[in-house]
Structure 1
Amino acid sequence: MAKAFASQGDMSEKKITFDEIGKDLWAFTAEGDPNSGVIIGDDSVMIVEAQATPRLANKVIEKVRSITDKPISHVVMTHYHAVRVLGASAYEADQVIMGDTARAMVVERGQEDWDSEFQRFPRLFEGHESIPGLTYPTTTFSDTMTVYLGNRRVDLTHLGRAHTAGDIVIHVPDENVMFTGDIVEDHSACYCGDGHFHEWGHTLDNIAAFDVDAIAPGRGGALVGKQAVERAIESTRDFVDSTYAPVERIAARGGSLKDAWDAVRASCDPKFKDYAIYEHCLPFNVARAYDEARGIEHPRIWTAQRDLEMWEALQG
């Protein structure tokens, strides 16, 4: 391999921010590292996104305990990726919730994804020795599910494929706030390695139709106010489109993966090079876009070995 993955050497600690984005609704953010959400109900607390390890999950729990002593009853995962789900055991929740498709993807590719992500970005797995194994939900649903935390209603919905095939969003109607997972990012590159480029924009349209007052995105700062929400949705759309369009053109004329890489750099570097995890995401985004443009609808499973082979091809 000509050089290491961009994030293998990223060991700098990120500043944690804990912002209230609606009454008793909080966004745990960390400068482009994976975010978590906190929804406080009448009698208990729901966590959105578990973090990658129990040790990292305890940082979320510390913030929760700074504002409430109510028990954590629910942990919801928007999708299956290791950095989102492997810390779930720390919360000791009564229910661990995913969509049906996300659970199926844990079965299909959960261990491979864990191995792959750990190789690419080791800092995000601080305390990895504390992970008890793959995280499986206790509860799943297909399209929509409603959870009541006392009188507080929380709606879980699959609005379409985007970052993965199984993405869900969490909407709290009484404050009109949404937790989007990695469908929406803010000043952070979208990871598209398991994505669906053609459908991502439609799913963003479905989110925009809620006309929410705040969003906790998958990465980046909390988005409070309709202007901030609209800006992030549109910048996410621009990132996805600016990645896929040049690859589609390359694939149509029979160009190589390396040709696609060069075309995406020309399209995206001027606009997004300063985004968090940009260099980390780019090779995986190009590889998935190249597959989709050539008719491979179901994202191929990333393994530690496939990662290295792809990276060598791009560096070659």
Structure 2
Amino acid sequence: MAKAFASQGDMDDKKISFTEVGEGLWAFTAEGDPNSGVIIGDESVMIVEAQATPRLANMVIDKVREVTDKPITHLALTHYHAVRVLGASAFDAPNVIMSDGARAMVAERGQEDWDSEFARFPRLFQGHEQIPGLTWPTLTFTGRMSVYLGKRRVDLMQLGRAHTSGDIVIHVPDANVMFTGDIVEYHSACYCGDGHFADWPRTLEAVRAFDPDAIAPGRGDALVGRERVNAALDNTADFVRSTYRPAARVAQGGGTLKQAWDAVRAECDPKFSDYAIYEHCLPFNVARAYDEARGIDTPRIWTAERDREMWEALQA
């Protein structure tokens, strides 16, 4: 069992890929690091996900400028996590979009999440001195909204709770391509520490109902073609269920968090141990599954102190 907490020992640079997933649609990926998306309209550009720091965001911008010189007018953020939003200032987009629920979580727990993730991801937060502060949206919505990048329509939608309660997806209907954030992952562990296990599989089926031709997931390679899309949806659902069920059996039987950890490892290690950030996610996933099984609907706020206490309990 890995003893390094979260991704504190992961300091190796990742290989960046920039993959076209549809006409004028690109996925910026980096071997299991957080992905970003690029949507090019006939007049302007929308970026999906801002990265953890302006330093990383500028790597996305460099790739964008290889394919278009159109202005970046919109930045869509699928949820509130620090590694997704704190690079926003680099894009200088006049329109920054979140769901109402995601904005509420920035207000409720944004600073705590930043402090917690800073300790978990030392490599991603290199250059953190450039972050001007919490990222706040200029536009919010509940349910659905559409943005027009000239003639190209982009639909932003809440399809259900999953990775967080404020998740959105971004669908480009003329190409039938979807940017899902961390609702869908490919050969990367799902981070479930702020998730909703009971709802997540239903939300995946809501994604599947669009029958997308391609998906840019939250982490991992771009998924082009319906066979790969459906395989990733199935695999993500299997990861979520395989994490929750063993933990729930222990929690509902009066067992300890450490016993839940052992039960989840027995179920998940054979299937997922080679996935990106698997060891990083596992303690948070078990803790959240244990809580949800005991009836705690709203994920408890992670702080740097709570991170340490949880890890010490699991290593005891």
TM-score by length of 2: 0.99
CA distance in 1, matches of 2:72, 2:204: 30
CA distance in 1, matches of 2:170, 2:134: 23
| Secondary structure, aligned partner of 1:38 | strand
The answer for the alignment partner of 2:261 in structure 1 is: 261
The answer for the alignment partner of 2:199 in structure 1 is: 199
The answer for the alignment partner of 1:294 in structure 2 is: 294
In the TM superposition, 1:1-316 aligns within 5 A as 3-316=3-316
Q: Aligned letter for 1:87?
A: G
| Secondary structure, aligned partner of 1:124 | coil
| Secondary structure, aligned partner of 2:192 | coil
Q: Deviations over 1:33-75 (max 9, x none)?
A: 0000000001110000000000100000000000100000000
What 5-or-longer segments of structure 1 have no aligned partner? none
| Secondary structure, aligned partner of 2:8 | helix
Identity %: 77
Q: Deviations over 1:131-161 (max 9, x none)?
A: 0000000000010000000000000000000
Q: Aligned letter for 1:16?
A: I
Cα RMSD after superposing both structures: 0.8
| Secondary structure, aligned partner of 1:122 | coil
Q: Aligned letter for 1:145?
A: M
Shift, 1:6, TM fit: 3.9
CA distance in 1, matches of 2:99, 2:280: 27
Q: Aligned letter for 1:110?
A: G
What 5-or-longer segments of structure 2 have no aligned partner? none
Q: Aligned letter for 1:182?
A: D
CA distance in 2, matches of 1:176, 1:38: 14
CA distance in 1, matches of 2:160, 2:196: 10
Q: Deviations over 1:205-252 (max 9, x none)?
A: 100000000000000000000000000000000000000000111011
The alignment of Structure 1 onto Structure 2 pairs a total of residues equal to 315
Q: Deviations over 1:77-136 (max 9, x none)?
A: 000000000000000111000000000000000000000001011111121110000000
Shift, 1:181, TM fit: 0.1
Q: Deviations over 1:256-314 (max 9, x none)?
A: 00000000000000000000000000000000000000000000000000000000000
CA distance in 1, matches of 2:50, 2:115: 18
CA distance in 2, matches of 1:4, 1:265: 16
TM-score by length of 1: 0.99
CA distance in 2, matches of 1:3, 1:154: 43
Runs of 4+ in 1 over 6 A off after TM superposition: none
Shift, 1:3, TM fit: 4.3
